[in-house]
A and B are shown apart, each in its own frame.
Chain A
Amino acid sequence: MPVKIEIPSPLRDHTGGKTEVAATGTTVQIALADLVSQFPSIASKLFDGGKLRPYINLFVNDEDIRYLDDMDTAVADGQVIAIIPAVAGG
Chain B
Amino acid sequence: MNVATLDFSIGLRCRVCGKLYPKEAINFCKDDFGPLEADYDYEAIARNISRAKIEKRPKNMWRYRELLPISGEPSVGPQVGGTPLVKADRLADALGVQNLWIKNDAVNFPTLSFKDRVVSVALSKAREFGMKTVGCASTGNLANSVAANAAAAGLESFILVPASLERSKILGTSIFGSNVVAVDGTYDEVNRLCTQIALKYGWGFVNVNLRPYYAEGSKTFGYEIAEDLGWRFPQHIVCPMAGGSLIGKIHKAFTELNKVGLVDQANTCKMYGAQATGCNPITDAVKTGKERHKPIRKPVTICKSLAIGDPADGYFAAKLIRESGGWAEDVSDDEIIEGMSLLARTEGIFAETAGGATIAVARKLIEQGRLPRDEEIVLCITGNGLKTLDALYEAIEPPVNIKPSLAEFESLVVGHEPIVA
Contacts and interface: CB of A to CB of B under 8 A. Distances in A.
A, B from the same assembly: yes
Contacts of A62: 189, 192
Given A55-B16, A55-B34, A67-B297, A87 B188 contact: no
A44 to B, nearest CB: 8
B305 to A, nearest CB: 11
B137 A89 contact: yes
Interface size class of A (residues with CB under 8 A): 20 to 34
B196 interface: yes
A13 B30 CA distance: 11
A86 B198 CA distance: 13
B211 interface: yes
Contacts of B191: 88-89
Interface string A23-66: 00000000000000000000001001000011111010010101
B28 A85 contact: yes
A8 B189 CA distance: 17
Contacts of B194: 88-89
Contacts of A8: 199
Contact of A88 (B211, B242, B292): B211
Given A54-B292, A89-B312, A84 B196 contact: yes
B242 A90 contact: yes
B245 to A, nearest CB: 5
Contact of B33 (A56, A66, A82, A90): A56
A89 B32 contact: no
Interface string A1-37: 0000000111000000000000000000000000000
B199 A90 contact: no
B196 A86 contact: no
Interface residues of B, number: 40
B312 A9 contact: no
Among B16, B187, B192, B295, chain A packs the most CB atoms within 10 A around the CB of B192
B102 interface: no
A10 B30 contact: yes
A53 B199 contact: no
A89 B33 contact: no
Nearest to A83: B33
Among A48, A55, A86, A87, chain B packs the most CB atoms within 10 A around the CB of A87
A57 B244 contact: no
A64 B294 CA distance: 13
B192 A84 contact: yes
Contacts of A57: 192
A55 B28 contact: yes
6 contacts: A62-B189, A82-B196, A87-B33, A88-B211, A89-B243, A90-B245
Interface of B: 16, 27-28, 30-36, 137, 187-189, 191-192, 194-196, 198-200, 205, 207-208, 211, 215, 242-245, 292, 295, 297, 308, 310-313, 315
A-B pairs with the 8 shortest C-beta distances?
A90-B243, A55-B33, A89-B191, A87-B35, A88-B208, A90-B245, A87-B28, A85-B28
